[in-house]
């Protein structure tokens, strides 16, 4: 429909209809007959409010969504179609590794493919829009939602944000088959809650916000992301859903975004809890003024914005503005012509979990695993080695992460199944212990098992361990220990599992740990004692196959940490691109007390950002620069030669870091500015070239101008963020 017609359409709509477009309710309400009075209706919607709401969330399924659409459009006075949204974060039914793990692939192409598969499957199931990508920068592993982000680094998150948007939406039209609209979230700064506690206050300087936290959202918008979700948190003490400066000035004026902004779940009601609105009427007014177009799951707009509008013309204009944006989104998706979009039962049956999708999920899982340590124990031998696979994750199907709301356990391959399908004969399997004990959050108490059963499990496991040549211990977090509302003050492996580790260690020291987690954990003891540690995160549907292939050397690990692994929890937030202090502590060489340091632990994390081993070794030459001067008009080339000097074909991530030595404000000690992932056969070598331009050196200076400053810079190229392989140049 052309813009003129769409405008006429809007002009013909009643005020109630327009307000209806601005309300989002659960799809579940439409799936049942009559008024929803059950516990799901927490907002207390009336039947009329549900009938008027212009978008719904949380459900998929071609046949059901077609039916819901038909019923809705029949009653909508202008037959405006309903918009279907849901959280498809790392896959629909074919589940890919969690986004944090996808960050560790350092492979945007692969991440784009993962998003494209998620879009294809969910589009066939009738979905129009996913609440992804989540690009909140995350540096505090206590926060449960770090699993949803691609990590601690601005540049890496920018690359992944773009990749995901292009995967979901494609680069053509949103009407294209198998494409869905993306929604970048949570705008802004949600990844920095004080003390890592979910929904807590965010205190960021405007400079850090702009330099480090905003660019990934901007990258998603530059890639054409159709919608934005505002965050729960405050910034400068203003909750985002009421933050005019954030949503109108920064998002709309500066970043040029003219699409739909949706609030996060219940966030308008939370303006009252935050204490900046005394009631829902005021909350509705504040959100509309800030530029929130859709109110997710409260009655603020549906019940209270009308009164404001009747009292004050300004609100009528805001309603028109919001309703028009929503109509435009529906139009971009082609819903006026085809309200079902790609909902198709036959297609659903054909493509969901097809072997092509499963293969891509397996590839992504393989590339996302990070080999943290390996004292010549991996890869395992397929024959002639007795291997005991022990731990509560050996048989667990819940390995796809907290947001995989459409995933089904029965579709997931466990580690045991993966090992068996490689035909490994001399392998035994035992759970060993319960995943968590009663100290953990109440929701997961029901996984507790009685002491007698526990003792039996432990005994069986120790017998196996005693008789094995190698023990693979599959340990880690319970899936409910990660995700939203899953902040943790301790980052340790759950107690029963740590005890199991210690007991196994007493009888067999040949241990390789396979670590399942939604966040970097505190693993000092495990890393000291085990001979190998393979971090597999929450690897998704094909997790078991992917892990087995890596363990037995059919695939070679190549993941790099997208978030630093802390030495211990007292160190977090810990990240490589910290700022220079006035008392830098140079580790073991720096002696004395009065430095920026801890008395009891090192400053450095256990494993830094960008770190990860392979089964092969790579040699990286010294950095070469095409010139030691850079001007605003020119560029310079920084290059290295990388050679595979080991005996496996493998992939390495060559990383470029730049340090601005002096600035008008304190600069980070170094920042990632480029990376290339390449595959090399044994003996093969390749030249890797990065182009450095003045634009890459910009930041918010003392006057809050986004500029570069002439002076000296260091360039580092290596295979982790602590590489010392560097050279310097001058920007003139
Ligand atoms: C989360 C969002 C999510 C929304 C809808 C909220 O609780 O913060 O990330 O998209 O629910 O499910």
Q: Is 484 in the pocket of ligand 1 (CB under 6 A)?
A: yes
| Measured CA distances, 549 to 419, 444, 468, 477, 553 (Å) | 8, 31, 20, 22, 6
Shortest-distance Cα residue to atom 10 of ligand 1? 131
Pick from 57, 87, 261 the residue to mutate for probing ligand 1's pocket: most ligand atoms within 8 Å of its CB.
87
Among the atoms of ligand 1, which is closest to the Cα of residue 134?
9
pLDDT for the residue 122: 98
Give the pair of three-digit tokens for residue 295: 């109110």
Q: Is 187 in the pocket of ligand 1 (CB under 6 A)?
A: no
424: CB partners within 8 A, 6+ apart: 382, 387, 548, 552
Q: Is 198 in the pocket of ligand 1 (CB under 6 A)?
A: no
Among the atoms of ligand 1, which is closest to the Cα of residue 131?
10
CA-based end-to-end distance of the chain = 52
Which of 96, 108, 111, 104 has the alpha carbon at shortest distance from 542? 96
CA of 642 to the centre of ligand 1 (A): 43
CB atoms within 10 A of CB 423: 9
Spans in the chain with pLDDT lower than 50: 439, 441
CA of 264 to the centre of ligand 1 (A): 6
Give the pair of three-digit tokens for residue 613: 């081993």
pLDDT for the residue 154: 98
pLDDT tens for residues 108-140? 999 999 999 999 999 999 999 999 999 999 999
Shortest-distance Cα residue to atom 8 of ligand 1? 264
3-state secondary structure of 619: strand
Q: What is the pTM of this model?
A: 0.97
pLDDT tens for residues 512-542? 999 999 999 999 999 999 999 999 999 999 9
> Cα(712)–Cα(726) distance, rounded to whole angstroms?
13
pLDDT for the residue 257: 98
Pick from 261, 265, 266, 404 the residue to mutate for probing ligand 1's pocket: most ligand atoms within 8 Å of its CB.
265
pLDDT for the residue 592: 82
pLDDT tens for residues 15-68? 999 999 999 999 999 987 666 667 778 889 999 999 999 999 999 999 999 999
pLDDT for the residue 439: 46
3-state secondary structure of 381: coil
pLDDT for the residue 589: 56
Shortest-distance Cα residue to atom 6 of ligand 1? 265
Give the pair of three-digit tokens for residue 443: 């929701």
> Cα(128)–Cα(336) distance, rounded to whole angstroms?
13
pLDDT for the residue 454: 83
Pick from 98, 131, 147, 149 the residue to mutate for probing ligand 1's pocket: most ligand atoms within 8 Å of its CB.
131
Indicate which residues carry an active-site annotation: 264
DSSP string, 119-158: HHHHHHTT--EE---B------TTSGGGGGS--S-HHHHH
3-state secondary structure of 6: helix
| Measured CA distances, 299 to 15, 281, 479, 608 (Å) | 16, 10, 32, 46
Q: Is 155 in the pocket of ligand 1 (CB under 6 A)?
A: no
Q: Is 403 in the pocket of ligand 1 (CB under 6 A)?
A: no
CB atoms within 10 A of CB 696: 18
Among the atoms of ligand 1, which is closest to the Cα of residue 186?
9
Diameter of the chain by CA atoms?
A: 82
Q: Is 265 in the pocket of ligand 1 (CB under 6 A)?
A: yes
């Amino acid at each position: 429909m052309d813009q003129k017609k769409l405008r006429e359409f809007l002009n013909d709509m009643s005020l109630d209809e327009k307000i209806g477009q601005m309300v989002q309710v659960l799809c579940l309400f439409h799936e049942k007959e009559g008024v929803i009075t059950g516990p799901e209706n927490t907002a207390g919607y009336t039947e009329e409010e549900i009938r008027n709401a212009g978008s719904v969330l949380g459900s998929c399924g071609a046949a059901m969504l077609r039916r819901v659409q038909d019923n809705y459009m029949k009653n909508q006075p202008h037959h405006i179609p309903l918009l279907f949204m849901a959280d498809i974060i790392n896959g629909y039914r074919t589940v890919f590794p969690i986004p944090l793990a996808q960050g560790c692939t350092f492979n945007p192409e692969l991440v784009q493919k993962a998003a494209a598969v998620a879009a294809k499957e969910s589009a066939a199931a009738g979905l129009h829009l996913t609440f992804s990508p989540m690009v909140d920068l995350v540096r505090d592993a206590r926060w449960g939602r770090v699993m949803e982000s691609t990590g601690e680094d601005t540049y890496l998150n920018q690359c992944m944000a773009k990749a995901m948007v292009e995967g979901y939406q494609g680069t053509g039209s949103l009407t294209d088959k198998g494409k869905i609209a993306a929604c970048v979230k949570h705008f802004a700064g949600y990844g920095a809650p004080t003390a890592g506690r979910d929904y807590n206050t965010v205190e960021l300087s405007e400079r850090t916000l702009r330099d480090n936290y905003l660019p990934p959202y901007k990258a998603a918008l530059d890639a054409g992301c159709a919608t934005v979700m505002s965050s729960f948190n405050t910034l400068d003490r203003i909750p985002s859903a009421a933050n005019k400066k954030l949503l109108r000035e920064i998002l709309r004026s500066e970043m040029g975004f003219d699409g739909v902004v949706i609030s996060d779940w219940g966030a308008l009601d939370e303006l009252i809890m935050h204490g900046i609105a005394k009631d829902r009427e005021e909350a509705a007014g504040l959100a509309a003024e800030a530029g929130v177009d859709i109110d997710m799951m409260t009655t603020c707009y549906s019940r209270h914005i009308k009164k404001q509008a009747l009292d004050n013309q300004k609100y009528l204009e805001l309603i028109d503005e919001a309703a028009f944006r929503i109509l435009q989104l529906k139009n971009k998706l082609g819903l006026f012509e085809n309200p079902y979009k790609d909902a198709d039962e036959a297609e659903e049956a054909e493509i969901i979990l097809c072997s092509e999708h499963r293969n891509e999920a397996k590839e992504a899982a393989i590339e996302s695993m990070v080999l943290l340590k390996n004292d010549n124990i991996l890869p395992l031998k397929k024959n002639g080695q007795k291997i005991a696979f022990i731990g509560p994750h050996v048989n667990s199907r819940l390995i796809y992460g907290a947001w995989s709301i459409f995933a089904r356990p029965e579709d997931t391959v466990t580690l045991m199944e993966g090992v068996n399908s490689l035909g490994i004969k001399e392998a035994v399997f035992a759970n060993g212990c319960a995943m968590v004990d009663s100290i953990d959050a109440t929701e997961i108490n029901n996984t507790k098992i009685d002491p007698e059963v526990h003792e039996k499990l432990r005994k069986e496991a120790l017998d196996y361990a005693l008789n094995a040549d190698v023990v693979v211990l599959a340990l880690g977090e319970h899936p409910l220990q990660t995700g939203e509302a899953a902040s943790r003050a301790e980052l340790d492996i759950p107690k029963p599992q740590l005890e199991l580790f210690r007991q196994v260690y007493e009888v067999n020291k040949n241990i390789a740990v396979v670590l399942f987690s939604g966040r970097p954990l505190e693993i000092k003891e495990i890393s000291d004692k085990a001979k190998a540690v393979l971090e597999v995160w929450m690897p998704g549907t094909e997790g078991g196959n992917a892990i087995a292939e890596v363990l037995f050397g059919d695939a070679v690990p190549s993941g790099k940490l997208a978030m630093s692994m802390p030495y211990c929890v007292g160190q977090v937030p810990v990240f490589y691109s910290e700022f220079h202090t006035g008392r830098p502590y140079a580790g073991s060489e720096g002696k004395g007390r009065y430095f920026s340091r801890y008395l009891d632990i090192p400053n450095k994390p256990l494993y830094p950002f960008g770190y990860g081993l392979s089964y092969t070794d790579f040699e990286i030459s010294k950095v070469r620069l095409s010139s030691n001067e850079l001007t605003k008009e020119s560029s310079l080339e920084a290059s290295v030669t990388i050679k595979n000097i080991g005996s496996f074909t493998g992939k390495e991530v060559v990383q470029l870091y730049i340090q601005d030595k002096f600035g008008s404000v304190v600069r980070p000690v170094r920042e990632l500015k480029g990376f290339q992932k390449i595959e090399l056969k044994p003996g093969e070598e390749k030249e890797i070239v990065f182009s450095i331009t003045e634009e890459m050196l910009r930041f918010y200076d003392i006057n809050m101008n986004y500029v570069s400053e002439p002076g000296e810079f260091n360039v580092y190229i290596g295979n982790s963020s602590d590489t010392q392989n560097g050279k310097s140049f001058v920007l003139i």
